[in-house]
Amino acid sequence: MSILAWPIYVSFLGMLVLLLGNGMRSATARRVALGTMLLAALLTFVGAARYDASGGWAEVARVPWIPQFGIEYHLAVDGISICLLLLTAIASVVGVLFSWNIEHRTRGFYAFYLALIGGVYGVFLSRDLFLLLVFYEIAIVPKYFLIAIWGSTRKEYGAMKLVLYSFVGSALSLAGIVAILAMGWRQLGAPTMDLGVLGNVNWPHGFQLWVFPLMFIGFAFLAGLWPFHSWAPTGHVAAPTAMSMLLAGVVMKLGAYGALRTGVALFPEGLVAWQGTLVTLGVVGILYGALVALVQQDFKFVIGFSSVSHMGFVIIGLLTLNRYGLSGSVLQMFSHGVLAGLLFGVVGRMVYDRTHTRQLGDLEQMQLNKYLPFAAGTFVVAGVAAMGLPGFSGFVAELSILTGAWSAFPGVAILAGVGIVLGVAYTLRAMRRAFFTDPPAGASEGGGHELPPITIQEKVGALILLLASVVVGLYPRILLDYIMPSVDGLLATMAKGGAL
């Protein structure tokens, strides 16, 4: 399984190549980036194919690093990690395709991009708590530069806000991790940061009561937990398309993953104590995100807020503490990752890069379903999938989460259902106004007919993401066979503590 460590190294190697290649042309830079990401994706798929779902955790690499604190360079995977690694693989390749048109400082763009992806791969592979934090924080700074240099609306403000929020969140987690180190040292007599060992420690109840929220909320910052979510819409809108894709698609999942591995897995008693509060925040996030998306005039903001809403589902899934909710949450991480990528790809790359406007009022005049039929069609399918329509990945995920929510906190399930309906409403509204409004009779032809055609890179990227969503929607076992055994294993470990 050590092949799975290579996506990290390959990404950073690619970054080095780009950094050292002073004077490299844009075209070369793109090819280097694409080649690197394809290689990393290939390695991930091979590793995933080799993984034996019934075997639980599979070791990838393990080397002592800072023995004074029990820190190791320890990489390992289970089914949940594999699922998210696959998401990263897919999204990273499509992200490069969707940014094919960047001409300004292309080399630097892809250097930061590869650094970010390297960090992301690392988070999903880490089995050492410190190492997880290291990769998590490595992924923070490239985001700043990617948005501040290549973004659009209020890019510097959006970038700084996003990074500071992320950092505050990770700072909270850092404080929590140090506390875990200290308490673990005391309980075990020797320091350790191994997540497996830490998961088996019988943490004192009082300790869990304050460490759990520290860890969960710290990571959930990045997952868009309400009310710590406001970096997300601004940041997504300010970011260039590929970044919005990655931010909403993958980076937000880093937060959820971190919350799962550190908060949920280590401190079930703490979770039980805080479940009510956090689930309320999650559900408010679902509804708030949906309601605000419903009144936005900027197309990208609609998608940005819809991301907050969808991540609310992930969060309540994590809090259900049963196999349906947890596996639904992981599946939703994958599904939303792919679909958000698709939606931002359409809004940012296909529409905005051509029309230079994202205001629904302007787009209404442009009859985009006639002049950009591929974009319109892709958005319809993506929007419908994001609504949770069966046949796509979102439905299975939401089904699972709702099932889990029913047994854990049924009132929330109903509210979440309302959220789904709102999702239908805002998606339809945006879809209608952006693509399917006819200009008033007698108006001119609309500014749409001079738009450059959709490039092959955009089409390939969109089709890859669509395919991923459809395949998982129609044959969810392809991922559930990875996820469910791992979720069951996780729940068994948590139950040993007696909290469940």
Partner 1 sequence: MNGFPVITLLTLLPVVAGVALLLGRPAGATARRFAVGAAFLVLLGALGMWIGFTPGDGAMAYVERHAWVPALGVDYFVGVDGIGLLLVVLAAILTPMSLLSGSLPKDRPTLYYALVLFLEAGLIGTFTALNFFHWFIFWELSLIPAFFLVKLWGGAQRDAAATQFFVYTMVGSIAMLLAFLALFLATGTFDFLALARQGQDGKLPEALAKVVGWSGLSGKTLAMLAFTGVFLGFAVKVPCMPFHTWLPDTYATAPTPVTMLLTGAMSKMGVYGFVRILLPIFPDQLRAALPVLTVLAIATILLASWSAFAQVDLKRMLAYSSINHLGYCLLGIFLVVKLNPAVGDPAASRAAIMNGVVLQMFNHGLTAATFFCLLGMLEERSGGLRSMGDFGGLRKVVPIYAGLLGITAFASLGLPGLNGFVGEFLIFRGAFGISPWAAVVAAPGLLITAIFLLTFYQRVFLGPLEPRWAKLPDMTVNERWLVAPALVLMLVLGVMPQLVLGVINPAVTQLVEAVSR
Partner 2 sequence: MTTSYLELLKLGGAEALLVVAGLAVLLVDLGVMRDAPLERRMRVAAFGAAAGCVVAGLWALCGGAHGRTPGGVLVIDPLSQLTKTVILLMALATALLSIPARFTRHVGEYFSLLLFGTVGMMLMVSTENILLLFVALELASLTLYVLTAFNDENPDAEEAALKYFLFGGVAAAFLLFGLSLLYGLSGSLDLREIGRALQGRGMEPAVAAAVALVVVGFGFKVAAVPFHLWAPDAYVGAPTPVAALIASGSKVAAFFLLGKVVMVGFTDVAGHAAWGNMQSGWAPTLAILAFFSLLLGNLVAVAQKRVKRLLAYSAIAHAGYMLVAVQALADPAHRSVGFAALLFYVMIYGLTTIGAFGVTGVVERNHEGSDALESFEGLHRRAPVLSFMLMIFFLSLAGIPPMAGFIGKFSLFGVALSAKGGLGLMWLVCFAVAMSAVALYYYLRVLKRGFVMDGPEGAALLRVDLPSVVVLGLLTAGVLALGLFPGLLLDPLTHAISAAGL
| Contact partner at residue 396 from partner 1, partner 2, none, CB < 5 to 8 Å by partner kind | partner 1
| Contact partner at residue 156 from partner 1, partner 2, none, CB < 5 to 8 Å by partner kind | partner 2
Q: Which of 8, 27, 25 is nearest to 16 (CA)?
A: 8
Window 440 to 479, contacts with partner 2 (CB under 8 A): none
Closest to partner 1 by CB, 46 vs 474, is 474
Q: DSSP secondary-structure letter at 410?
A: H
- Is 1 a binding residue for partner 2 by CB under 8 A? The answer is no
Window 141 to 200, contacts with partner 2 (CB under 8 A): 141, 144-145, 148-149, 156, 160, 163-164, 167-168, 171-172, 174-175, 177-179, 181-183, 185-186, 191
Q: How far is the CB of 164 from partner 2 (least distance, A)?
A: 6
Q: How far is the CB of 219 from partner 2 (least distance, A)?
A: 14
By CB atoms closer than 10 A (0-12, 13-18, 19+), residue 202 is exposed
| Contact partner at residue 226 from partner 1, partner 2, none, CB < 5 to 8 Å by partner kind | none
Instruction: List for the chain the helix, strand, coil content (%; round to 5).
Output: 80, 5, 15
Helix (H) or strand (E) holding 322: none
Closest to partner 1 by CB, 6 vs 435, is 435
From 6, 124, 130, 231, residue interacting with partner 2 (rule: CB under 8 A): 130
84/134 Cα distance (integer angstroms) = 18
- Is 65 a binding residue for partner 2 by CB under 8 A? The answer is yes
Closest to partner 1 by CB, 212 vs 435, is 435
Window 101 to 120, contacts with partner 2 (CB under 8 A): 108
Q: Which of 225, 194, 204 is nearest to 270 (CA)?
A: 204
| Contact partner at residue 181 from partner 2, partner 1, none, CB < 5 to 8 Å by partner kind | partner 2
Q: Which of 246, 320, 248, 311 is nearest to 284 (CA)?
A: 311
Residue 194 β-bridge partners: 128
Ramachandran bin of 23, using left for φ above 0, alpha for ψ from -120 to 50, beta for the remaining angles:
left
Q: DSSP secondary-structure letter at 452?
A: P
Closest to partner 1 by CB, 126 vs 469, is 469
- The tokens describing 448, both together, are 């749409």
Look at residue 377 and give its three-state secondary structure.
helix
40/378 Cα distance (integer angstroms) = 27
Which positions lie near partner 2, rule CB under 8 A? Answer: 19, 22, 65-69, 108, 130, 133-135, 137-138, 140-141, 144-145, 148-149, 156, 160, 163-164, 167-168, 171-172, 174-175, 177-179, 181-183, 185-186, 191, 207
